[in-house]
Chain A
Amino acid sequence: MSLLQGTTGEWEMVIGLEVHAQVISNSKLFSGASTTFGAAPNSQVSIVDAAMPGMLPVLNRECVAQAIRTGLGLKAKINLVSVFERKNYFYPDLPQGYQISQYQHPIVGEGSILLDLDNGETREVGIERLHLEQDAGKSLHDQHPRKTFVDLNRSGVALMEIVSKPDMRSAEEVGAYLRKLRSILRYLGTCDGNMDEGSMRCDVNLSLRRPGGPLGTRTETKNVNSIRFVQQAIEAEARRQMEILEDGGSIEQETRLFDSRRGETRSMRSKEEAHDYRYFPDPDLLPLELEPAWVEDLKAALPELPDDKKARFMADFGLSAYDAGVLVAERANADFYEEVAKGRDAKLAANWVITNFFGALNASGKGLEEAPVTAAQLGGLLDLLADDTISGRIAKDVFEEMWESGKDAAVIVEEKGLKQITDTGAIEAAIAKVIADNPGQVEQYTSGANPKVIGWFVGQVMKATQGKANPGMVNQLLKKHLGG
C-alpha cells in the first residue's frame, strides 16, 4: 500500500472509478443508425437520435447481450429485471434534454475484478454495478471563435457505465484496474477499449483519509482519456487535497477536470447546478425482463477469460505468474503463444515469444498483425533448436535474420550454412588448434590453478567454429583433450 507522506503525517488515498465503455454493436442503443467512428458530421443520426418530437426508442437486443456478457465476465450478478430512467439535464450535445440511463435498477449488480500488480501479486477490487445508457453527441469548440459545433453521430451509441467500489489505494492500482478491465472487455468483444478514440473513458472519485480512519470528502475528476493521464490526475488531485487538509482546510465535494498540459485538476463549476438530475422511469420504455435461459446461453458461449487463461498457462505449461500474465494480457498475444507452444517445449516457447518476439515487436513499434515473423515460423525456429540443428546462440542470429527478411528459419540456416557442427572430428580439430595456440591457459587448467578457464576454452572453440559447434560436445571433448 502506498501512503502519501505529508508534513502532519501519512494519508491514504481512497479511489473508485466510473468507466464508460462504448458497446461494440452495429447500430445504436435505441435507433438503427450506425455506430462507426469517424463518419461525416450528422451522417449517422436517425430522427430518434436527434430527438425529433414523437420519436420512440426501441432497444437493441445485441447491446443488452453485450452488457450481460460483460457482467458475466466481471463475475457479477445479472439482474433479470432492470429499468431505463431519464437523467435530466441540458447540454448542447444532448438533444433529448435527458439521457436514457439506468439508475435504481441496473442490468448488472455486484461483481469483482482481479488486479495483476507489478510485483506479481493479485488484488481483488469490487464492482458496484454496470448499467446501460446512451452516449451524448460531440461538441467541437475549435471550429469558430464564438460558436460551438455539434455533431450527433455519437448521440445514442450504447455505453456501459462500470462503477467500481472505492477499493483502490494508489495510482498504480488504478492503472492495473484499467488495464485488466480493458483486457476483459477485449476478450469478451464487448468494447474495443480504445481510450484514444474515446471508446473507453474514465471518471475518478478520490478522497484522502488518515490510514484506517473515517472516509474524507471526495471529488470527481471527469473524462480522463488515457491510463497515463488517469494516473497523473490522481497524483495531482491527491497532492491538492493533501495540501488543503494539512493547512486545516476542507475538501469541497465537486466535479473537476484534469488539464493534462498543466498536470493539474481544476473545478468545473458549471456542472454543479446540473447535479439535480430528477431521474424517473422512462415512460417510453417498459422494464427490461431477461429470460434466464438467454443469460445461460450467453454464459455458455463466453470465451476463456484472462484469469482462467493465465491459470491454465501456469498449470499446463509450467509458466511463472509473471510470464503467464504478460502472455494473456491481450487475447491475440495469447493465441500467438499457444500456436508457437503447441507440441513444443512450452517454457522455451514462452521465453522466445516474450523476450525475442515481443522485444523485436516493441522495438519496431509494430502491432502483432504486422509482425514479419508468424507463429508457425517462430515455431519452425524452435524446432531447429530442439533437434540440435542449430545452437541457442545461432538461433538468436537466425531470428534477427527472419525478422529482417521474413524467410523461414530452415531456409536461412541452409543458405548461410549455420547448421550446428556435431561432427566430432571437426570439433576436435578446432580444439587441437586452440590448445596448441594457448599453452598458458592449458597450464592454468592442468595444474589445477584455475579450473574455470575451461569456460574460456569453450568460448574460443565456439568462436573458431563461428558459434556452430554444439556447446555440450565442445565441453565434453575439451575435458577429454585437456585431461580433466
Chain B
Amino acid sequence: MSVDVGTVRRIASLARVKVEDAQAEALVGELNNILSWVEQLGELDTEGVPPMTSVVEMELPLRADAVTDGGVAEDIVKNAPDPSGRFFTVPKVVE
C-alpha cells in the first residue's frame, strides 16, 4: 500500500491540516516509509487470531445512569475564542 500526492492532499484536507505543495511532496515519501514499515506485520500469519483490543486483561467498565456532572456553562465556554453569553459562536454555517 502506498499513497500519492493527491491522497496526501486529500487526507490533509479531511483532517483540516494545512499542507503546502512542497510539504506534500515530502510527506508522500514519509508516509510511504511508515506504511511499508507497518506492512512488515503482514509477514505474520494471523489466521484465526482475534484482534487484540487491550494490552491488559479487562472488560469495558460501565457506569450507573446518574446525573453527576454539568452546570458549569461558564467554565465550558471560558476558553472559547468568541463566546456570546453562554454560547460558543463560529462563522455562520448555513446549509
Contact = CB atoms under 8 A, between A and B. Distances in A.
A316 B35 CA distance: 68
Contacts of B71: 43-44
Interface residues of A, number: 53
A314 interface: no
Interface in A128-151: 139-141, 143-151
B65 A62 contact: yes
Contacts of A61: 62-65
Given A33-B67, A46-B70, A144 B60 contact: no
A374 interface: no
Interface stretch (A176-184, A280-288, A359-367, A419-427): A280-288
B73 A45 contact: yes
Contacts of B26: none
Interface in A1-58: 25-27, 31-34, 40-48, 50, 58
A285 B14 contact: no
Contact of A46 (B62, B69, B86, B88): B69
B22 interface: no
B90 A92 contact: yes
Given A146-B92, A152-B76, A288 B60 contact: yes
A145 to B, nearest CB: 8
A31 B64 CA distance: 10
A290 to B, nearest CB: 10
Nearest to A91: B93
B43 to A, nearest CB: 23
Given A42-B77, A43-B73, A27 B68 contact: yes
B91 to A, nearest CB: 7
A226 interface: no
A42 B67 contact: no
B40 interface: no
A59 interface: yes
A286 B53 contact: yes
B86 to A, nearest CB: 5
Band of interface residues on B: 35 or more
A64 B69 CA distance: 20
A92 B63 CA distance: 28
A155 to B, nearest CB: 10
Interface string B1-45: 000000000100110100000000000000000000000000000
Nearest to B85: A41
A148 B71 CA distance: 23
Contact of A32 (B10, B16, B70, B82): B70
A31 B69 contact: yes
Contacts of A25: 65
B77 A268 contact: no
B65 A27 contact: yes
Contact of A150 (B10, B66, B89): B89
A469 interface: no
Nearest to B70: A33
A270 interface: yes
A63 interface: yes
A62 B62 CA distance: 9
Contacts of A147: 82, 84, 89-92
Given A25-B65, A147-B91, A289-B59, A40 B73 contact: yes
B88 A149 contact: yes
A286 B69 contact: no
Given A42-B76, A141-B94, A149 B89 contact: yes
B87 A60 contact: no
A369 B90 CA distance: 43
B64 to A, nearest CB: 6
Contacts of B58: 286
B62 A149 contact: no
B87 A150 contact: yes
Contacts of A34: 67, 70
B93 A92 contact: yes
B73 A42 contact: yes
B61 interface: yes
Contact of A257 (B10, B61, B70, B95): B95
Contacts of B62: 58-61, 64
Contacts of A296: none
A34 B65 CA distance: 10
Contact of A144 (B53, B67, B70, B89): B89
A278 B88 contact: no
Interface in A49-91: 50, 58-64, 88, 90-91
B72 interface: yes
Contacts of A437: none
A276 interface: yes
Nearest to B68: A32
Q: Which 5 A-B residue pairings sit nearest by Cβ, starting from the closest?
A: A32-B68, A62-B65, A46-B69, A33-B70, A32-B69
Given A32-B68, A278-B14, 17 more contacts: A27-B66, A41-B87, A42-B86, A43-B86, A47-B75, A58-B61, A60-B62, A61-B64, A61-B65, A91-B93, A143-B84, A146-B92, A147-B89, A149-B89, A150-B87, A281-B53, A288-B60
